[in-house]
Amino acid sequence: MSLVLYNDLTRTKEPFVPLKEGHVGFYSCGPTVYDFFHIGNARPFIVFDVLRRYLEYSGYKVTFVQNFTDIEDKMINRANQEGITVKQLADRFIEEYFKDADALGIRRATHNPKATEHIPEIIALIEKLVEKGHAYAADGDVFFDVGSFPSYGVLAKQSLEELQSGARVEINERKRHPLDFSLWKAKKEGEPSWPSPWGEGRPGWHIECSAMSMKYLGETLDIHSGGTDLTFPHHENEVAQAEAATGKPFVRYWIHNGYLLIDKEKMSKSLGNFLTARAALQKYPAKAIRLFMLSAHYRSPINFSEESLNQSLGAVERLENCWSDLEHARKNRKTTSDGSRNEFESLFKEFEDRFITAMDDDFNTAAALGVLFEAVKTVNTYLKETQTLEESFLELAAEFFRKIDSVLGVLGLDAAAGEEDAAEIEALIAERNAARKNKDFKRSDAIRDDLAARGILLEDTPDGTKWKKKA
RNA sequence: GGCGGCAUAGCCAAGUGGUAAGGCAGAGGACUGCAAAUCCUUUAUCCCCAGUUCGAAUCUGGGUGCCGCCUCCA
């Protein structure tokens, strides 16, 4: 059994075999840093972070590269609007990106290259394309010559003619073919620029990903991912640029996530129907947002709504309750350790195998979550129905949850506890229990209500009172 | 015009030939001082029609509806 991925290049599921055994070179298109990213942008960040984690869980060494597009029309426009430099704008929103991405539990990439820091690599790639006759200069601009690259359209699965017939591209007389695209843009007044063999200018959007991905991962990448809207033309162009230059296959597995919709429409900045990740994080814990993203297959569209997020929140609470019950049992219940370890080992081994089977099948996180919840039920039932707990069960269950959560991150076991006020809470609980003993329910309920108002929820169990923070 | 996706219970969502995972919500019950949590029970024949098959949500054909890409966009 091993991972099978849906490859957009072939439009079929294929067994995943990396170029170098045991190692995966993974490039994921990152944000243009002109604004906060929204919850739709967050989908690929979360989903491909989980794929990356799963590859690592599966034993691969993963080099994960995600770029920052820090020079581009939108960057320039926004910087001008705000009266700051493009660099200042980029620095600010890279910082904001990390704040939100970290809060969402997205692990840091191995490399986060910026376009403006790779101008020499970009120019070198363009020069190579010009030399090989795949690009041509025109008044300080350089265009890629799609007519020179017969397999243009591999990802779109359309011929040049077919692509052109539906195209809404602006007429540009300097282009040989309407679909030729900019590799280098001549400087305009008030724009940042760099010297180049074609004069002062700046790189086009598509070229940065080809240049930077190959710099960090070599001429052939194992996985390249992004939103499905990038398939054409961005990724198509990346393929053309890289393969025209190197003559080697650029990417072995192209994977694209489906859109996040809101009111059945694509969430996007231009439509104005977006919710920033930051705003979402104020309303919902990261765990709930992650679980929401993972509750459907990554290639399906998902519809964002308050109701969906609330459902995910409910699900997360179920996971958390199970975990905290487990912890509580470990501290407060009688345990023994006779014999039955093997039985529990195979129980959790089976759950893990099923988790692996789900994830191996084109990264089916929805099915994987199903397995996780079945394990939750098993643990809950065991805790409820067993008088004297077997230590190995508690250990193995905790280990199972930790492992799964190292991939999915929906339990937040990585996050620091931060229970500095624990002592005070414990004291109040003791006071409340004393009141309960004296049947002073007025007093006991008052304490419980006060704590609830602070976001501390109490549960009375046969093994004493348990408390937790509201999710 | 070309390319592609989707349609499963009140909601979200797996499942691609053998008689429908999981979550949320709801109802009933157990437990509780009351709660909370948990457990038990309960809620679907898979958009429609026609085929293939011993057998289809799952394959084929035809409909209907929704959505995306071909332009910046995760």
Range of the domain at A8: 4-283
Into how many domains does chain A fold?
3
Nearest nucleotide from residue A299 CA, by C1' atom = B5
Closest nt to residue A228, judged CA to C1': B74
Contact A402, A375 (CB under 8 A): no
Considering the domain architecture, whether residues A360 and A347 belong to the same structural domain is answered as yes
- Residue A214 and residue A235 share a domain: yes
**Of the candidates A283, A299, A322, which is a domain's last residue?**
A283
Task: Please check the confidence at residue A214 and state whether its pLDDT lies above 80.
Answer: yes
A270 in any annotated domain:
yes
The enclosing domain of A330 has a CATH number of 1.20.120.640
Residue A125 pLDDT more than 50?
yes
| Strand extents, DSSP E, A132-173 | 135-138, 141-144
For chain A, the 3-state helix, strand and coil shares in percent, each to the nearest 5, are: 50, 20, 30
Do residues A249 and A359 both lie within one domain? no
Residue nearest to nucleotide B6 (CA to C1'): A300
One domain for residues A323 and A189: no
Kindly report which amino acid residue has its CA closest to the C1' atom of nucleotide B5. Answer: A300
- Looking across all nucleic acid strands, the nucleotide with the smallest C1' to CA distance from residue A41 is B74
Q: Could you tell me if A276 and A328 lie in one domain? A: no
Given A385, A414, A443, which residue is the final one in a domain? Answer: A414
CA–C1' distance A231–B20 (Å)? 35
Question: Do A159 and A204 sit in the same domain of this protein?
Answer: yes
Closest C1' nucleotide to A381's CA = B39
Residue A289 included in any domain: no
Closest Cα to residue A341, out of A395, A400, A402? A395
Residue with tokens 């994960």: A64
Q: Indicate whether A307 belongs to any domain.
A: no
* DSSP state at residue A363: -
For residue range A389-435, list pLDDT tens digits in order.
999 999 999 999 999 999 999 998 765 455 567 888 889 999 999 99
Q: Do residues A154 and A36 share a domain? A: yes
Mark whether A78 and A182 lie in a shared domain: yes
CA of A222 to C1' of B27 (A): 52
CA of A369 to C1' of B41 (A): 24
Note whether residue A296 is domain-resident: no
For strand B, the positions having any atom within 7 A of a protein Cβ are 1-6, 11-16, 21-25, 32-40, 66-74
Out of A414, A429, A447, a domain closes at A414
How many Å apart are A20 CA and B17 C1'?
38
3-state secondary structure of A113: coil
Q: What is the mean pLDDT of residues A229-242?
A: 94
Is residue A233 reached through a cis peptide bond, with omega within 30 degrees of 0 on the bond before it?
yes
Same structural domain for residues A364 and A387? yes
> Any idea what the CATH number is for the domain that residue A22 is in?
3.40.50.620
In a domain, A445, yes or no: yes
Q: Could you tell me what percent of chain A has a pLDDT over 90?
A: 81
Within a domain: residue A300? no
- Say what the pLDDT of residue A415 is: 55
Task: Answer for the pair A118, A133: CB distance below 8 angstroms, yes or no.
Answer: no
Residues A133 and A14 in one domain: yes
Question: Do A135 and A16 share a structural domain?
Answer: yes
Residues A100 and A111 in one domain: yes
Residue A172's pLDDT is 78
- Return the pLDDT at A416: 47
Residue A296 (CA) to nucleotide B8 (C1'), in angstroms, measures 14
**Closest nucleotide to residue A181 (Cα to C1')?**
B71
Query: CA A367 → C1' B15, Å?
Result: 9
Taking residues A242-251, report their average pLDDT: 96
The set of residues, in sequence order, having a beta carbon less than 8 Å from that of A424 and lying 6+ positions away, is: none
Give the tens place of pLDDT for each residue, A277-318: 999 999 999 999 999 999 999 999 999 999 999 999 999 999
Nearest-nucleotide field for A302 (CA, C1'): B12
Q: Tell me, yes or no, whether A398 lies in a domain.
A: yes
pTM, two decimals, is: 0.94
Distance A397 CA to B16 C1' (A): 33
